[in-house]
Amino acid sequence: MRVLGIETSCDETGIAVYDDKLGLLSHVLYSQIPLHADYGGVVPELASRDHIRKTIPLIQQALREANCAAADIDGVAYTAGPGLAGALLVGAAIGRSLAMAWGKPALAVHHMEGHLLAPMLEANPPQFPFLALLVSGGHTQLVAVEGIGRYELLGESIDDAAGEAFDKTAKLMGLDYPGGPLLAKLAVQGDSKKYKFPRPMTDRPGLDFSFSGLKTSAANVIAKEGSSAQVQADIAASFQQAVVDTLVIKCERALVQTGYKRLVIAGGVSANTSLREQLAQLLKRHGGEVFYPRKEFCTDNGAMIALAGYYRLAAGQQQDLTIGVTPRWPMQELPAV
């Protein structure tokens, strides 16, 4: 089975062709980051308009690179949520219409399920069940995963997501949008013990997160210490360590609670090297293993959408003719496969 995947939920247009026998045949990505950089964040209307310009040419490119014609595609999968309504509608309208024109089934994919399954594209895919830490710009969630569509939400952020905390703190430091990767780069030169940032909600039981207070702590340090290059690097390193420690503490609790020995990390922040290293050490202490996607599939991409769509289409699930999106969509509402 060969699936075309379309991702347009935020500021990246990602298209891919996945084949269950041959693997990923092509994947192309267009990032709108330069378009939004002047505004310090994603402007939804500009995002939608740019997806309209880019989606069809990128589909043509992905099909060409996969060396396949429209007739070779057995199903079309597009992100239907969560995300920006207008941006989602572009991918949904194009994906649903193409599937109808081609006489093939369509599938509305949950963006976070795409992230969650992205490590399955790698050479050593995780077996079920596993614990998943989903850390993106919009979500921070701990999920017990027993199979595709069998998700139990163990904890989530009650305010800012981890990626959002990275981006907001980076913005306070004068870094460009999205600041997460830039802050992580600065952190390499800094002293992670220089400033004492809180490890929010680790002093009480439970698996929820709260990251909004961290940026206030960072703002206070910036106001007091100025912003020399060394101060910036030390703030970056100390802030990153506070986020990583918090995530590691909660992952350890969730591993103990579930008894699982496998941890999947996915979403944009899973590209963070320090987070990967410290979670790998945690799993080593527990006699387990950590799994993550290659860096380019940590952030938004079409490959993870094609893959998630494939699993559901192969099980006979499909979307009716409605062109619909679900900007707010709890992952637990997904049917099992």
List of residues contacting ligand KG4 (CB under 6 A)? 10, 136-138, 163, 166-167, 178, 180-181, 184, 267-269, 271-272, 299-300
Give the bridge partners for 108, in sequence order: 78
Q: Phi and psi dihedrals of 238, rounded to 5? A: -70, -40
Q: Which is nearer to Zn ion, 136 or 246 (CB)?
A: 136
Q: Tell which phi-psi region holds residue 67, choosing left (phi > 0), alpha (psi between -120 and 50) or beta.
A: left
Residues 6+ apart with CB under 8 A from 74: 1, 2, 3, 104, 105, 313
Q: Does position 13 bind Zn ion by CB under 5 A? A: no
Closest CB 288 distance from Zn ion, rounded Å: 25
Q: Please tell me whether 180 is known to bind a ligand.
A: yes
- Residue 12's H or E segment, with its range, is strand 12-19
In order of 128, 160, 226, 236, the CA distances from 250 in angstroms are 20, 16, 33, 21
- Residue 264's H or E segment, with its range, is strand 262-266
Q: Please tell me whether 174 is known to bind a ligand.
A: no
Closest CB 114 distance from Zn ion, rounded Å: 8
Binding mask 300-319 for Zn ion (x = CB under 5 A): x-------------------
Q: Please tell me whether 136 is known to bind a ligand.
A: yes
Q: Which is nearer to ligand KG4, 150 or 171 (CB)?
A: 171
Q: Please tell me whether 287 is known to bind a ligand.
A: no
Interface pick for Zn ion out of 8, 26, 32, 136 (rule CB under 5 A): 136
Closest CB 73 distance from ligand KG4, rounded Å: 25
Stretch that binds Zn ion, among 128-136, 148-156, 173-181, 285-293 (CB under 5 A): 128-136
d(CA 257, CA 154): 10
d(CA 214, CA 325): 33
Closest CB 100 distance from ligand KG4, rounded Å: 28
Q: Please tell me whether 286 is known to bind a ligand.
A: no
Stretch that binds Zn ion, among 136-144, 170-178, 239-247, 288-296 (CB under 5 A): 136-144
- What is the maximum alpha-carbon separation in the chain? 63
User: Is the distance from CB of 155 to CB of 141 less than 8 angstroms?
Assistant: yes
Closest CB 272 distance from ligand KG4, rounded Å: 4
Binding site, annotated residues for substrate: 134-138, 167, 180, 272
Binding site, annotated residues for Fe cation: 111, 115, 300
Binding site, annotated residues: 111, 115, 134-138, 167, 180, 272, 300
